[in-house]
């Protein structure tokens, strides 16, 4: 890969955080120690959920949730297609069937009405994804889940710190999952965390992440068919230190989003993401704009190419899950017009804590210039 002058994302690790990891390396506890407890406590207190369980990734967290809630082969789980593939893969890991529904064209989150319409007598759960850190419509989804006796699992992997009615997402449904990959708001390199109010589920998840051992089991007693989904002390020291400054991280990201809004405000060729969530708070994960309807997928891809040549990181978020090669068996069963039209025209612009106003201004100038060239009549002809 060509190194970018402005990357799509960049982790923000402070000296104190490097020190915190080194301190663990100097100790004798490298796994299942005090840093895990500290990190779990920090996330539990922050989200308001009584139990938090650290795991090796967000994907591992989703998998363990499916298992701990007893989702089985033949069960159906409702999930949006416009999201990261792990949300649906976890459903398949336990042999259940992901049922894809379309999204709201403004928030890009699962459309509650369509989720309700997709319920059958096999449905066990709804996975609500807080896409790009914008809180899903939890009022509507909780009402639907209760009405039909379904579990509501929050994939909050893109949304730590997002709020709905002043309550943190992740702690609103039956369980929520956070992820700490380097492009997320808080990072541990790799890592994840499950939060829940259900003590039985928390116990089961703790056992499953640690080779099926309950806290009362000895090291060679395996009560469940478990996994090694543990998170090392080095990861937890980093996560715990990052949690200490989460508010300033979220504020810095809000400022970058505001800068983009300001510099792109009057650009009629693109649709900006909503600046505010009316009854909550956005935790900015990425800054994804959408090209106007008049642009084709090919033109969007031409913009991506132009950004690459200008050495500016840029991505397409997301290709629909039901159209992935690994979802061949699902592909022809679905037509999700909003998902398919949105995903053909999205453009993720560079977005990270330390992105400067000057960088944002430069990126926006490049974007405007690229779109102007695209709309000139003879664009489609190849230069030379
Ligand atoms: C990042 C992410 C995950 C999980 O990510 P890991 O890389 O496994 O930590 C799951 N769902 C969504 C929506 C994500 O964005």
pLDDT band, very low/low/confident/very high, at 378 (cuts 50, 70, 90)? low
DSSP 4: P
Domains in the chain, number: 2
**In a shared domain, residues 232 and 250:** no
Residues 117 and 254 both lie in one domain:
no
Number of C-beta neighbours around residue 349 at 10 A: 24
Residue 306 has what pLDDT? 93
pLDDT for res 147: 98
For atom 14 of ligand 1, the residue with the nearest CA is: 157
pLDDT in tens, 290-329: 999 999 999 999 999 999 999 999 998 899 999 999 999 9
237 & 250 share domain: no
- Asked if 196 and 202 touch (Cβ cutoff 8 Å), the reply is yes
Q: What is the pLDDT of residues 63-110, one digit of tens each?
A: 999 999 999 999 999 999 999 999 999 999 999 999 999 999 999 999
Query: Which pLDDT tens digit goes with each residue over 23-72?
Result: 999 999 999 999 999 999 999 999 999 999 999 999 999 999 999 999 99
pLDDT of residue 382: 53
Confidence (pLDDT) at 4: 74
* SS3 category, 94: coil
Classify the phi-psi angles of 108: left when phi > 0, otherwise alpha if psi is within -120 to 50, otherwise beta.
left
pLDDT for 377 beyond 80: no
Whether residue 375 is predicted with pLDDT greater than 50 in this model: the reply is yes
Residue whose pair of structure tokens reads 């499950």 in the numeric block: 194
Looking at the fold, whether 70 and 202 belong to one and the same domain comes out as yes
Residue 298 lies in a domain: yes
Residue 348 domain-assigned (yes or no): yes
Tell me: do 145 and 183 sit in the same domain: yes
pLDDT of residue 3: 64
For residue 22, the domain's CATH number is: 3.40.640.10
Is 283:46 a contact under the CB 8 Å cutoff? no
Give yes or no for residue 381 having a pLDDT over 60: no
Cβ–ligand 1 distance for 273 under 6 Å, the answer no
CA atoms within 13 A on the CB side of 97: 14
Instruction: Determine if ligand 1 sits within 6 Å of the CB of residue 185.
Output: no
pLDDT score for 376 = 79
Same domain? 282 vs 256: yes
Probe target for ligand 1 pocket from 59, 176, 183, with the most ligand atoms within 8 Å of CB: 59
Helices 357-375, 246-264: inter-axial angle, 10-degree rounding: 40
DSSP annotation of 188: -
**Whether 120 and 263 share a structural domain:** no
Tokens at residue 345, please?
């025209």
Note the pLDDT of residue 166: 97
Contacts 24+ apart (CB under 8 A), 374-383: 374/295, 374/299, 374/302, 374/303, 375/269, 379/299, 379/302
Cβ–Cβ < 8 Å for 269, 67: no
Residue with tokens 């994907």: 59
pLDDT computed for residue 2 by the predictor: 56
Question: Is 7 contained in some domain?
Answer: no
User: Could you tell me if 239 and 250 lie in one domain?
Assistant: no
Q: What are the tens digits of pLDDT across the range 130-180?
A: 999 999 999 999 999 999 999 999 999 999 999 999 999 999 999 999 999
Q: What is the pLDDT of residue 92?
A: 98
384 pLDDT more than 50: no
Q: Cα(312) to centroid of ligand 1, in Å?
A: 24
Task: Please report where in the chains the tokens 């478990």 appear, as a residue.
Answer: 226
Structure confidence by residue, pLDDT tens digits, 204-245:
999 999 999 999 999 999 999 999 999 999 999 999 999 999
Residue 350 DSSP code: P
Look at residue 344 and tell me if it is in a domain.
yes
> Does residue 356 lie within any of the structural domains?
yes
Q: Classify residue 3: in a domain, yes or no.
A: no
% of the chain exceeding 70 in pLDDT: 97
Do 224 and 289 reside in the same domain of the chain? no
What is the pTM assigned to this prediction?
0.96
132 and 275 in a single domain? The answer is: no
Catalytic residue list contains 122: no
Catalytic residue among 122, 184, 244, 305: 184
How many whole angstroms from 179 Cα to the centroid of ligand 1? 6
267 pLDDT tier (thresholds 50, 70, 90): very high
Closest ligand 1 atom number to CA of residue 87: 11
Range of the domain at 275: 246-373
- CB of 87 within 6 A of ligand 1: the answer is yes
pLDDT at residue 1 greater than cutoff 70: no
């Amino acid at each position: 890969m060509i190194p970018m002058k402005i990357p799509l994302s960049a982790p923000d690790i402070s000296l104190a955080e490097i020190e915190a990891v080194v301190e663990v390396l100097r100790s004798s506890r490298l796994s299942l120690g005090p840093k895990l407890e500290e990190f779990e406590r920090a996330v539990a207190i922050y989200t308001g959920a009584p139990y938090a369980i650290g795991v090796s990734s967000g994907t591992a967290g989703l998998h363990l949730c499916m298992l701990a809630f007893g989702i089985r082969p033949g069960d159906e789980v409702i999930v949006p297609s416009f999201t990261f593939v792990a949300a649906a893969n976890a459903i398949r890991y336990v042999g259940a069937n992901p049922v894809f529904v379309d999204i709201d064209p403004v928030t890009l989150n699962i459309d509650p009405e369509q989720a309700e319409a997709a319920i059958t007598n096999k449905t066990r759960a709804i996975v609500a994804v807080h896409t790009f850190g914008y809180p899903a419509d939890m009022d509507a989804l909780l009402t639907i889940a209760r009405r039909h006796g379904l579990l509501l699992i929050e994939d909050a992997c893109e949304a730590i710190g997002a709020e709905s009615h002043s309550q943190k997402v992740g702690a609103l449904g039956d369980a929520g999952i956070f992820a700490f990959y380097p492009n997320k708001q808080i990072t541990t390199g790799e890592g994840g965390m499950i939060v829940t109010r259900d003590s039985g589920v928390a116990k089961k998840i703790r056992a499953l992440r640690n080779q099926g051992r309950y806290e009362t089991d000895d090291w060679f007693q395996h009560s469940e068919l478990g996994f090694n989904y543990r998170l090392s002390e080095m990861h937890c020291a980093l996560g715990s230190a990052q949690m200490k400054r989460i508010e300033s991280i979220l504020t810095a990201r809000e400022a970058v989003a505001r800068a983009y809004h300001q510099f792109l405000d009057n650009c009629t060729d693109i649709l900006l993401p909503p600046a505010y969530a009316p009854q909550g708070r956005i935790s900015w994960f990425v800054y994804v704009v959408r090209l106007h309807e008049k642009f084709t997928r090919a033109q969007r891809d031409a913009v991506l190419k132009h950004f690459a040549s200008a050495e500016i990181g840029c991505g397409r978020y997301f290709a629909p899950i039901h159209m992935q090669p690994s979802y061949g068996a699902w592909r022809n069963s679905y037509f999700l017009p909003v998902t398919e039209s949105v995903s053909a025209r999205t453009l993720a612009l560079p977005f990270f804590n330390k992105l400067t106003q000057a960088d944002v201004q430069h990126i926006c100038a490049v974007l405007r210039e690229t779109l102007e060239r695209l709309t000139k009549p003879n664009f489609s002809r190849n230069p030379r």
